[in-house]
Amino acid sequence: MSRIGKQPIEIPAGVTITVGESEITVAGPKGQLNVPVQPKTKVNVDGAVATVTREDDEPKSRAWHGLQRALLNNAVQGVTKGYEKKLEINGVGYRLSGGGQEIEMALGFSHPVKYKAPEGVQLTTNKMEITVSGIDKQKVGQVAAEIRSLKKPEPYKGKGIKYVDEVILRKAGKAGKK
């Protein structure tokens, strides 16, 4: 039995789960998300608890079982609390401006770098920190990764865009002649 798949999903007050033929709709106070139904899995909603079961014990079915439960749980958490990732910009002369759907950054290139977030993702700036927030965990993570890839942190001085909780392993510079 899948360790993740067999765990029940607690449904908070104000969240409704509608199971359809090809997708599951999760609606809550922050919005609505659609989760695709994985093959050979079944979702049962009973009061304030949702459970995921599978048809057989094939390896693929076991994998889909855990995946279906994880996607559904992420959607429930997204429509209640939401998700956010924080990025930090380090470097002399690096600047950040904007907010909402679009930000503009000076990252040491000859031109300013503009980034426009997709629908459903909000960008908030505070000095040299970017907060990416939204209800879809996958979209929030993807946007944060795309922003980080614009100027990855380098190992010598640590200049670049990094996650707030990320640790950059520093390398020693050139050794001087003796």
The confidence score (pLDDT) of residue 2 equals: 61
Q: What is the CATH architecture assignment of 9-80?
A: Alpha-Beta Complex (3.90)
CATH 3.30.70.3340 assigned to 83-163:
no
Query: Is residue 121 a contact partner of residue 140, using CB atoms and an 8 Å limit?
Result: yes
The confidence score (pLDDT) of residue 177 equals: 75
User: How is the chain split into domains, by residue range?
Assistant: 9-80, 83-163
The confidence score (pLDDT) of residue 79 equals: 96
Q: Which residues in the chain show pLDDT less than 50?
A: none
The H-assigned helical ranges of the chain are 59-80, 137-149
Indicate the burial class of 147 (C-beta count within 10 angstroms; 0-12, 13-18, 19 or more).
buried
